[in-house]
Structures are given as C-alpha cells and as structure tokens.
Amino acid sequence: MHMAIQLLSLIISAATLVYLIKYVRATDVIAKQSVQQVEATFRPAIVAVTDPRDGLGGVPKLVNIGKGPAMEVEWFLSALQNIRGTIPYLETTRPSGPYSLQAFSDMKPLFHPSDKLPAIVCTYKSISGARYSSTSTYDVNTGVFSTTFQ
C-alpha cells in the first residue's frame, strides 16, 4: 500500500511537471509576441526623398517616417558603393527637416545611365536593437523614390 501511494505521488508530480513546462512555453510565446507588438509600434522606417523643385541637381535626403528613432544608420548607393555614410541617429520629427546626404553634393550619381535602377540602401536599428533595412530606388522618369523595407 505504501509503495502504491509513492507511485501515485510520483505520477502526479510528473504530470504536474509536464503541465508546468507547457505553461512556461506558452507564457514565453506570449511574451515574445508582446515584445513584437511593442517593437512594431515604435519601429523606425527610413525613406529617401528629393524635392521636385530642385530638379536633377537636388541632393537626396533621408527621412524617418516611422514611429521611433533609427539608430546607427548606415547608407550607401547601390550603383556606386564608395558613396556611403553613417548617421548616429535619425529622429522621427527632426527639427531641421530631412537629413541631407551631402556626399551627393556636386554629383549626380542617381541620374547616370546604368543597367539597374539606382537605389539608396539603408540599414539601421531601433532602440530595442532590432535591425532593419530599407531600399529607396530612384525612378528617373518620375523623379521620385519608391521604398521597400526588409
């Protein structure tokens, strides 16, 4: 009889342990989803823009249209990777307006004929440390950028 009680106690303990492990895994999934929701709420999103009034001589600018600041921004021109730069951070509401890419001053690399459309590629991270990337491709016919996010 005493052996049966110990065996029953062991079975109950093992079943409790199985349910406890399942519970911990479920709460871990919920916690990860909560972090993803918060991250999506404050995610940065960098796009390149030009001022149509500047014509072909305009200097491209980077704008953060997201909800949170972009940190450690690195950008380069896809057609000429030696044209690149870094920005420590880019706020969503930058008081002085968009961040001008001065590396383009007195140059027109976006408008040179090439077999592929020129693009400004940006990599950056959010406050949480999540990494993001955006590619703003310039259309020489319309004079505007279209951006895709990864």
pLDDT digits (tens, 9 = 90+) for 100-120: 776 555 445 555 555 667 788
Q: Print the domain residue range for 4.
A: 1-41
Say what the pLDDT of residue 106 is: 47
Work out the average pLDDT over 1-8: 84
**One domain, residues 86 and 71:** yes
Work out the average pLDDT over 91-108: 63
Say what the pLDDT of residue 145 is: 85
Q: For the residues of 55-84, what is the DSSP string, one character each?
A: GGGPPPEEEE-SSS-EEEEEEEESS-TTSE
Are 123 and 84 in contact by the 8 Å Cβ rule? The answer is no
- Burial pattern 3-37, b for ≥16 Cβ within 10 A else e, equals eeeeeeeeeeeeeeeeeeeeeeeeeeeeeeeeeee
pLDDT in tens, 39-82: 777 889 999 888 766 655 567 889 999 988 999 999 988 877 67
Has residue 19 got a pLDDT over 70?
A: yes
Helix (H/G/I), strand (E/B), else coil: 6: helix
**One domain, residues 72 and 129:** yes
Say what the pLDDT of residue 56 is: 55
**One domain, residues 78 and 99:** yes
**One domain, residues 34 and 52:** no
**One domain, residues 90 and 127:** yes
Beta-ladder partners of 132: 124
Q: What's the structural domain count of the chain?
A: 2
Confidence of residue 143 (pLDDT cuts 50, 70, 90): confident
